[in-house]
């Protein structure tokens, strides 16, 4: 069982029962109790649980706490995405114009940089804008366009028209598929159109993809694997992709959580 699946399973149990026990979880998942304890640490950070001796209980505040926007899916904690956002946020050095494309990782990046100063953020993701809503030191520009239902992402001709008149220092592009043969792909042709425009108007483009996107394809092709010169992902990226990046001089950043 992968880390994410395990976390999801623990979440389900705790929401159903209201409590969990380390020993029971350990046997159920077949991992060591240190692993379970680390999972519980993460869930506590999310605010879902409060740790107790030998286990944890559901944090009652959690269900009543209202997120900035309904459906901002950051409430489903995505560890890989969160880790990636740390590295991406480190690449943003201030006094620059950045673009954050629609997606979970972009929202985590927004959360990480929300206390920064002298930054201009352009996005087609309403949740990214919402994260940065309260900081007067960051100028936020939303592209406009047609909202994709339930996704919080905007697409369509209005976006393209707006992107005609600006330039960007760094664009972060969350891709949905990375494949040795099929290259990068996105969920829809509408998104691909926007990303292609962004690439044209940006000084530097950086791809973001959790490790489980490697070796998979999504609906529409964005470009070949050498399209981006920088990729941020997790340490679990398959070896053949690491080798490809090394041989083709693509900078592959991967996350490590060291204490």
Partner 1 sequence: MSDLLLEMKNIYKQFDGNYILKGASFSLAPGEVHAIVGENGAGKSSLMNILAGIYRMDSGEILMDGRPVAIENAKHAQKLGIGTIFQNFDLFYDMTIAENIFINQEPVINLGFIKVVNWRKVNKKAGEVLKYLNIRVDPKLPVNRLDFGQQKLIEIARTIVNKSRMIIMDEPTAAFTEKEVEFLFDMIKNLKLMGISVIYISHRLKEIKYIADRITVMRDGKTIATIRKDEIDSNKLVKMIIGDEIKDRYPKLNVKIGKDLFIVKNLCSATLLNNITFSLRQGEILGITGLKGAGKSTLCKALFGLEPVTSGNIYLNGKKIEIRSTEDAVKNGICYVTPNRMQEGLISQMSISDNIIVTNMNRIKKGLFISPALEKNESEKYIEMLGIKFSVPDCKVEQLSGGNQKKVILAKWLFTSSKILILNEPTGGIDMSSKIDVYNILNELVRSGAALIFVSSEIPELLGLCDRILVMHKGSIAKEIHCRDATQEKILYYASGGQ
Q: Which residues bind partner 1 (CB under 8 A)?
A: 32-35, 38, 86-87, 90-91, 93, 230, 235-236, 239-240, 242-243, 245-259
Rg over CA atoms, the chain: 19
Residue nearer to partner 1 on the CB measure, 43 or 84: 84
Cβ 192 to partner 1 shortest distance, Å: 26
Nearer to partner 1, 219 or 246 (CB): 246
CA 133, 136, 140: angle at the middle one, nearest 5?
55
Q: Report in angstroms how near the CB of residue 90 gets to partner 1 at its nearest.
A: 6
Question: Measured from the CB of residue 196, what is the shortest distance to partner 1 in angstroms?
Answer: 25
88 close to 208: Cβ distance less than 8 angstroms: yes
| 16-21 CB contacts, 8 Å cutoff, 24+ apart | 18/57, 18/58, 19/52, 19/55, 19/56, 19/57, 19/58, 20/49, 20/55, 20/56, 21/54, 21/55
CB of 255 to partner 1, least distance (A): 8
Of 197 and 242, CB closest to partner 1: 242
Q: Helix count (H) and strand count (E) of the chain?
A: 10, 15
Least distance from partner 1 to the Cβ atom of residue 210, Å = 15
Q: How far is the CB of 34 from partner 1 (least distance, A)?
A: 4
List Cβ neighbours of 23 (8 Å cut-off, separation of 6 or more): 33, 54
Helix (H, G, I), strand (E, B) or coil at 10: helix
Smaller CB distance to partner 1: residue 74 or 87?
87
* Nearer of residues 150 and 239 to partner 1, judged by Cβ: 239
Other Cβ atoms less than 10 A from the Cβ of 68: the count is: 11
**What does residue 231 show for φ and ψ, rounded to 5 degrees?**
-130, 140
- In the numeric block, which tokens belong to residue 251? 């900078």
Cβ closer to partner 1: 130 or 227?
227
């Amino acid at each position: 069982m992968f880390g994410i699946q395990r976390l999801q399973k623990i979440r389900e149990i705790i929401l159903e029962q209201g409590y969990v026990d380390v020993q029971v979880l350990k046997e159920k998942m077949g991992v060591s109790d240190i692993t379970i304890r680390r999972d519980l640490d993460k869930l506590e950070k999310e605010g879902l649980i409060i740790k107790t001796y030998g286990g944890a209980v559901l944090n009652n505040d959690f269900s009543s706490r209202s997120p900035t926007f309904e459906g901002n899916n950051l409430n489903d904690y995505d560890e890989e995405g969160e880790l990636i956002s740390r590295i991406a946020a480190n690449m943003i050095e201030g006094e620059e114009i950045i673009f954050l494309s629609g997606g979970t990782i972009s929202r985590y990046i927004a959360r990480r940089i929300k206390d920064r100063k002298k930054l201009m953020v352009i996005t087609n993701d309403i949740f990214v804008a919402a994260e940065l809503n309260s900081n007067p030191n960051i100028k936020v520009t939303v592209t406009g366009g047609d909202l994709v239902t339930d996704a919080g992402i905007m697409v369509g001709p209005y976006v393209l028209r707006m992107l005609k008149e600006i330039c960007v220092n760094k664009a972060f592009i969350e891709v949905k598929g990375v494949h040795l043969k099929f290259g990068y792909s996105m969920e829809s042709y509408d998104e691909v159109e926007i990303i292609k425009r962004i690439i044209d108007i940006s000084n530097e483009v950086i791809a973001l993809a959790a490790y489980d996107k490697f070796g998979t394809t999504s609906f529409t092709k964005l470009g070949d694997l050498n399209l981006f010169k920088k990729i941020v992902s997790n340490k679990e990226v398959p070896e053949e992709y690491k080798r490809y990046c090394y041989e083709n001089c693509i900078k592959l950043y991967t996350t490590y959580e060291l204490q």
